[in-house]
Amino acid sequence: MYSFTNDYSEGAHPRILQAMMEANLTQNKGYGLDSHSDHARELIRQEIRHPEADIHFIPGGTQTNLIVIASALKPYQAVISAVTGHVNVHETGAIEATGHKVLAMDTADGKLTPALVQQALDSHTDEHMVQPRMVYISNSTEVGTQYTRAELEALSRICRLKGLYLFMDGARMGSALTSPVNDLTLADIADLTDVFYIGGTKNGALLGEAVVILRDELKTDFRFMIKQRGAMMAKGWLLGIQFEELFQNNLFYDMARHGNDMAGRLREAIAGCGWSFASDSRTNQLFPIFTHEVIRELAEDFSFEINQKTDEDHCCIRLVTSWATTEAGVGRFIETLRRLS
């Protein structure tokens, strides 16, 4: 049984584990105030070319989303998201639990547009309704798509014009940035957003996300929020060490590219067998549509998520690759599919 269920089925890249091993018995300051975390922050600041950015390491993505959003909004303010946005669906109401409404917009492809943002603004006009104040996007998105530079610039423009914070969830940032059709860099993203995060958990770290805050007013007292929501790790240097490794020698990009390469092979083979996709993804998540019978057969040797039916006979599944996906696993999947097609 080989798993394409998600990009967090294995542990961490061996170099990361090695670095943790080596530092294991050194005494460190707690709570992210250690030298590894400081060094990792420096590496990221160089990468994004924003020496003034504040950078915090947080164990997981849901925590990061809820802390960033709750930190930025006043009680009556809301965040605009795609209906498919992780904060809208898959976090068990984590944002609402901090008191804020998620204004969920229907999208064609998991991506918000200036028109959708404007539509949310137009329908929230006075104190009887929540006040939209932040735009949440994910890159790559939950359906595997990604923002182009032009699209991000357009979103950034309307956000600045309308006084909305722009927040990018980068749980799968690595996959987005190393996609064959990507034209963005981390430095661009830092230029165009107010706050974003770089995902470690889904790209070869044991755990950890790096929040990058560009906008000054969002920096204030951010550590209070991290602590209050239980996200300030006692042994915070464990996150620092991992991001040191990720941003030395291109490990972050190399791992993500491997995941995309593996997905690319699957994509080509699936299309080659004549199957279509629910979403046009060039990242590490694919959403092919198969017949129920093919899915049943595949499921005997591979694990993956089964999503919604697309018609009576067909269903969409999700295949996820990662830094750890093996060529052998991918090869076997392709072979099996060819046999079934």
Cβ closest to a copy of itself, residue 51 vs residue 92: 92
Whose Cβ is closer to a copy of itself: residue 9's or residue 341's? 9
**Nearer Cβ to a copy of itself, position 54 or 91?**
91
Q: Minimum distance from CB of 261 to a copy of itself (Å)?
A: 18
Nearest to a copy of itself of 25, 52 (CB atom):
25
Beta carbon of residue 17, minimum distance to a copy of itself (angstroms, whole number) = 6
CB of 220 to a copy of itself, least distance (A): 8
Smallest gap from Cβ 25 to a copy of itself, in A, equals 5
- Angle, helices 237-246 vs 14-23, to 10°: value is 140
Shortest distance (Å) from residue 234 CB to a copy of itself: 4
Distance (Å, whole) CA 3 – CA 245: 26
Give the burial string for 55-71 (b: 16+ CB within 10 Å, else e): bbbbbebbbbbbbbbbb
Distance CA 161, CA 327 (A): 47
**CA-to-CA distance for 296 and 261, rounded, in angstroms?**
26
> How far is residue 331 CA from its own chain's centroid?
26
In the bound state with a copy of itself, the residue whose beta carbon lies nearer, of 85 and 184, is 85
Given the complex with a copy of itself, which of 56 and 267 has the nearer CB atom? Answer: 56
- Tell the smallest beta-carbon distance from residue 46 to a copy of itself (Å): 26
Number of helices and strands in the chain (H, E)? 15, 14
What SS3 state is found at 103? strand
In sequence order, what are the residues at sequence separation of 6 or more whose Cβ sits closer than 8 angstroms to the Cβ of residue 330? 262, 265, 266, 321
CB of 80 to a copy of itself, least distance (A): 13
d(CA 111, CA 145): 8
For the chain, where are the alpha helices, taking DSSP H only? 14-23, 35-48, 61-72, 86-89, 94-97, 114-122, 149-162, 173-177, 186-192, 216-219, 222-228, 237-246, 251-272, 292-298, 327-340
Closer residue to a copy of itself, CB minimum distance, 21 or 115: 21
